[in-house]
């Protein structure tokens, strides 16, 4: 079971339209600080958001939040394909420049030479590769290599199995983010900039993804996010962590006044500094200049964050909400994503990836 899931997850990086109808797929973005899920269906070539779920971990643990999710999901979640993501320490996504070779030969080569490219002993990880430019004619090719420690994969599988969730697939956070962007780009028909920095501002881990028109070319987990803001905001207002999370979880963080903006400034400044380092590295290594920054994720709704990125990086920046492109029939679901859309991006990318397994 472990191998069958891990061997498939990199297929999610590509978009292939499924048959005319498919059963609904659930993308489940569960972290140590929050749980978000979306159920996506597709009829012909139109995606529809069927339902969604959002909860923070304030005063709760993962097991209780997962139980709340499963018990409240109708129809039964066990009748749906559920896909989840791995991220953080013990996982790795790298982009390698290698001599062009067929995919089968690449897998054989990586099985032998994995230690040359990865910091983990090869017998302790699950690993997969995908050629990002499979139709290229040059002598070199770009390869995405992803790896996760076996103990992490097996622990997550055990957790979901005990929570009555049957996993249909597992992928990496940056892969889910890339998939969401490829399918629901803010620039339809590929008319956007040639190189963009997608910054998913999470609660604990933020993800930087550099997208070219051909697909992803760089990603990095940055260990900071809106959880740092919650702590600072709670200290400023003299409230508990649970109460501070309550303000952060309100629509678009439109409450909290100037205190929330003040609490957010240090994290935003530090995050921009880390993003700048990576953009400079990418520009030097690849001789490619980033043309725009796209912000998404729960922390992208913090006051002042878009303007701060524009000012500090000297690049155009925008907030990306992919749900503006998705059909939503249920008025309650529509209102939820209208208020919190960017927070569901990773869950959306996971659900879209579920249609890519055919």
CA proximity to 123, closest of 131, 132, 114: 114
Distance CA 202, CA 206 (A): 5
Residue range 88-107: mean pLDDT, rounded: 91
In the structure, what pLDDT confidence band is assigned to residue 192 with cuts at 50, 70 and 90? low
Per residue in 255-275, pLDDT (tens digit) is 455 888 888 999 999 999 999
Average pLDDT value over all residues in the chain: 84
Instruction: Look at residue 191 in the predicted model and tell me its pLDDT.
Output: 62
Residue range 281-291: mean pLDDT, rounded: 92
Confirm if 346 and 27 have CB atoms less than 8 A apart. Answer: yes
pTM: 0.89
Least confident stretch, 64-68, 95-99, 311-315: 64-68
More confident position, 131 or 79 = 131
Least confident stretch, 73-82, 201-210, 275-284, 342-351: 73-82
Q: Give Cα 216 distance to the centre of its chain.
A: 13
In the structure, what pLDDT confidence band is assigned to residue 249 with cuts at 50, 70 and 90? low
Per residue in 120-170, pLDDT (tens digit) is 888 898 888 888 888 888 899 999 998 899 999 899 989 998 988 888 888
Is 241 exposed, middle or buried (CB count within 10 Å of its CB: 0-12, 13-18, 19+)? middle
Greatest mean pLDDT among 78-92, 96-110, 271-285 lies in: 271-285
Domains and CATH numbers, the chain: 1-88+149-186+321-358 (3.30.420.40), 189-319 (3.30.420.40)
CA proximity to 52, closest of 79, 32, 67, 72: 72
Distance CA 16, CA 352 (A): 10
Instruction: Look at residue 166 in the predicted model and tell me its pLDDT.
Output: 82
- Report residue 263: phi and psi, to 5°: -65, -30
Residue range 350-354: mean pLDDT, rounded: 86
Distance CA 358, CA 356 (A): 6
In the structure, what pLDDT confidence band is assigned to residue 280 with cuts at 50, 70 and 90? very high
In the structure, what pLDDT confidence band is assigned to residue 13 with cuts at 50, 70 and 90? very low
């Amino acid at each position: 079971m472990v191998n069958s899931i891990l061997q498939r997850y990199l297929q999610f990086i590509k978009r292939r339209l499924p048959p005319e109808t498919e059963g609904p797929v659930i993308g489940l973005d569960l972290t140590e600080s929050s749980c978000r899920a979306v159920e996506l269906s597709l009829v012909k070539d139109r995606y529809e958001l069927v339902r969604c779920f959002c909860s923070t971990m304030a005063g709760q643990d993962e097991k209780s939040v997962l139980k709340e999710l499963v018990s409240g999901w109708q129809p039964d979640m066990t009748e749906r394909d559920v896909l989840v993501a791995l991220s953080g320490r013990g996982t790795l996504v790298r982009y390698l420049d290698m001599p062009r070779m067929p995919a089968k030969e690449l897998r054989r080569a990586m099985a032998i030479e994995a230690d040359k490219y990865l910091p983990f002993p090869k017998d302790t990880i699950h690993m997969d590769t995908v050629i990002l430019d499979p139709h290229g004619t040059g002598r070199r090719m770009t390869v995405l290599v992803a790896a996760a420690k076996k103990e992490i994969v097996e622990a997550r599988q055990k957790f979901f199995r005990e929570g009555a969730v049957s996993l249909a697939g597992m992928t990496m956070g940056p892969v889910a983010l890339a998939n969401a962007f490829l399918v629901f780009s803010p620039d339809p028909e590929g008319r956007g900039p040639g190189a963009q920095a997608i910054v998913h501002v999470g609660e604990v881990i933020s993800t930087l993804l550099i997208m070219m028109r051909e697909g992803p070319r760089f990603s990095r987990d940055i260990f900071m996010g809106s959880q740092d803001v919650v702590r600072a905001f709670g200290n400023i207002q003299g409230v508990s962590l649970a109460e501070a999370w309550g303000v952060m979880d309100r629509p678009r963080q439109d409450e909290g006044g100037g205190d929330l903006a003040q609490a957010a400034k240090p994290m935003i400044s530090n995050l921009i500094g880390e993003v700048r380092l990576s953009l400079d590295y990418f520009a030097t290594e690849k001789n490619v200049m980033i043309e725009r920054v796209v912000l998404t994720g729960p922390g992208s709704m913090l006051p002042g964050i878009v303007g701060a990125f524009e000012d500090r990086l000297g690049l155009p920046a925008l907030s990306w909400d992919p749900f503006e492109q998705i059909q939503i029939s249920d008025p309650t679901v529509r209102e939820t994503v209208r208020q919190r859309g960017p927070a569901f991006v990773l869950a959306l990318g996971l659900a879209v990836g579920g249609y890519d397994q055919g």
